[in-house]
Amino acid sequence: MPGSGVKTVSLSRPDYIVVGAGSAGCVMASRLAHLTGGRILLVEAPTVTEAPANDRNRPRHWLRLLGSPNDWNHATEPTPTLANRRLAWPRGRGLGGSSRINAMIWFPPTPSDLESLRAASGGQWSRQLLDEALESIETMVAPESPRWLSDAGQWFMRHANHLCDTEHQPMVYHRCNRNGRRWNAGQLLADFSDQRITVLRANVDRVEVSDQRVVGIRVVSNSGDCETILCRHGVVMCAGAIGTPTILMRSGIGSDELLRRHQIPVRAEQEGVGKNLSDHLLMPLVYATRGNSFSSEQNSVRDIARWQIAGTGKLVSNIAECGGLFQNQSLQLHVTPTHYLTYPKASATGMMTLGINLTQPKSRGELEISSALPADPPKINTGYLSDPDDLAGLVKGVNWARRWLQSIEANDWIVEEIIPGAKRVSDDAIAKTVARFAQTLYHPVGTCRFGHHIDTPVDPKFQFRNLDCLWCADASVLPGPTIGNPNATVMTLAWMAAASISEQAIGEPNRRPSF
């Protein structure tokens, strides 16, 4: 184990420790401080250097943040169904977490998402409760309407009404922006500046358990020195779909076999930790168009001035500008004015990508720690396309998009299909291009899922089932993929979790031990 000596520090013994200051953790810390009046220690991993401010602020530069110091730079194991490719799996690091590096699309949970969450809670959450939480989050985030649309986006919005077969209209996505600049969840801490929240930049190795109760956390420095920090009422895990299960595993919470393999003393056996991993897998259909090239990263003085003064112009494009839900909500389509696989490399002509993903893939993967050391990266087996229906669904999606383009006679706009390519017509040929080119849509969830069934690691009050004084409230608790992009749903759940945890503090004195 890292570190020779372990120091115990009090940091004036906070009431609650929130692990991870991402989309969920920032909502959690600010709400818990507000609702309980208690002192909150919010712990976020340190970043050695920051990505340049222009990249963090200019929506159009968000892809530059991937691989930057604000990214954990995870990678998957080779995926057999994707021609054994290892995919980069970015996750945000620093205040704001993944909302610090994401594509900023604000996609509120759909009515069917809300119904699935209500059902997973066994009816313990009412639709009214969920609706109120969503409304509160939307008031706080105040997502911005788009201020600029590329040629490709405009073309799509002119023609996409032909695609409508559901109650969902094609849309130009709302964004987590303020005046055309990226807004991330870390800004909640400033907006709700609260003396009761202390932010500590440290790597969390594990939670500390005593007599089946979580009593604090252990943090570890890069040199391997450890410190234990105790708290009064408990620890809320908001380290995300990868961070939360891996910290729990290192704490001795997880599958008995895995923990023994890594010689970690078992504190609570819970098979579900790290299982049930899901993600949206995106298949890009790339077209050369007659539009203007968007690929050059050169910004003219005019573009910069327009953005600085008015918060508009092409610098506010988040690239994934518009899209929607189609085919009875089974498909989501994203439109970018780029060659999805080569951007930001310059391309001479206009480009457009129609990115297609199944909204409810059935495939599930799993992740586990590769050792007991926090510095060692997790092993991520995505399980992409392990359910044959998912590959069949994506192939159908490609055919559907092509049929739509034919139906609107798009030749005055589209010059050529580059991927999959006009020659790849059969389902088999399309399936091969899926294996070769499909990408993560960056939406992992489900690795510590909540539910009313006893086999779920987390219950509908966000309590970890096998231990007291431990809650989970981030993307890991979602039982499965959301229909659209998950950030709004994750923040909504964190809002509900904060209310639930604060009620437990008031209503159940036996859950308020002092250590």
Ligand X SMILES: Cc1cc2nc3c(=O)[nH]c(=O)nc-3n(C[C@H](O)[C@H](O)[C@H](O)COP(=O)(O)OP(=O)(O)OC[C@H]3O[C@@H](n4cnc5c(N)ncnc54)[C@H](O)[C@@H]3O)c2cc1C
Q: How far is it, in rounded angstroms, from Cα 447 to Cα 379?
A: 13
Q: Which stretch binds ligand X (CB under 6 A): 125-133, 241-249, 461-469, 498-506?
A: 241-249
Q: How far is it, in rounded angstroms, from Cα 349 to Cα 338?
A: 10
367 with 379: CB under 8 angstroms? yes
* Of 41, 42, 44, 413, the one binding ligand X by CB under 6 A: 44
Residue (92 or 393) nearer to ligand X, CB:
92
Query: Of residues 95-154, which lie at the interface with ligand X (CB under 6 A)?
Result: 97-99, 101-105, 107
Residue (480 or 513) nearer to ligand X, CB:
480
Residue (460 or 484) nearer to ligand X, CB:
484
474 lies in the site for ligand X, by CB under 6 A: yes
90 lies in the site for ligand X, by CB under 6 A: yes
Give the H or E element holding residue 182: strand 181-182
375 with 357: CB under 8 angstroms? no
Q: Shortest approach of ligand X to residue 288 CB, angstroms?
A: 25
Q: Is 395 labelled a binding residue? A: no
Beta bridge partners of 234: 16
Q: How far is it, in rounded angstroms, from Cα 419 to Cα 67?
A: 25
56 lies in the site for ligand X, by CB under 6 A: no
177 lies in the site for ligand X, by CB under 6 A: no
248 lies in the site for ligand X, by CB under 6 A: no
Q: Shortest approach of ligand X to residue 510 CB, angstroms?
A: 29
Q: Shortest approach of ligand X to residue 68 CB, angstroms?
A: 11
Amino acid identity for residue 140 in this structure: M
60 lies in the site for ligand X, by CB under 6 A: no
Residue (147 or 306) nearer to ligand X, CB:
147
Residue (420 or 479) nearer to ligand X, CB:
479
203 lies in the site for ligand X, by CB under 6 A: yes
Cβ burial of 73 (10 Å; 0-12, 13-18, 19+) is: middle
48: tokens are 């050695």
Q: Shortest approach of ligand X to residue 23 CB, angstroms?
A: 3
- Total number of residues binding ligand X (CB under 6 A)? 40
Give SS3 for 506. Answer: helix
Asked whether the CA dihedral 318, 319, 325, 331 is positive or negative, the reply is negative
Residue (105 or 264) nearer to ligand X, CB:
105
Site pattern 484..503 for ligand X (x: CB under 6 A): -xxxx-x-------------
Strand order in the sheet with 234-237: 197-201, 40-44, 16-19, 234-237, 470-472
Query: Of residues 433-452, which lie at the interface with ligand X (CB under 6 A)?
Result: 442-443
Site pattern 8..37 for ligand X (x: CB under 6 A): ------------xxxxxx------------
Side-chain half-sphere of 483: how many Cα atoms within 13 Å?
20
Q: Phi and psi at residue 227, in whole multiples of 5°?
A: -135, 140
Residue (97 or 170) nearer to ligand X, CB:
97
471 with 235: CB under 8 angstroms? yes
3-state helix, strand, coil in the chain (%, to 5): 30, 25, 45
Residue entry with tokens 């759909």: 110
* Of 207, 238, 401, 469, the one binding ligand X by CB under 6 A: 238
Residue entry with tokens 């109760």: 213
Q: How many residues does the chain have?
A: 515
Query: Of residues 370-429, which lie at the interface with ligand X (CB under 6 A)?
Result: none
Residues within the annotated binding site?
204
Residues within the annotated binding site for FAD?
204
Binding site residues, ligand X, CB under 6 A: 20-25, 43-45, 66, 90-93, 97-99, 101-105, 107, 203-204, 238-241, 243, 247, 442-443, 474-475, 485-488, 490
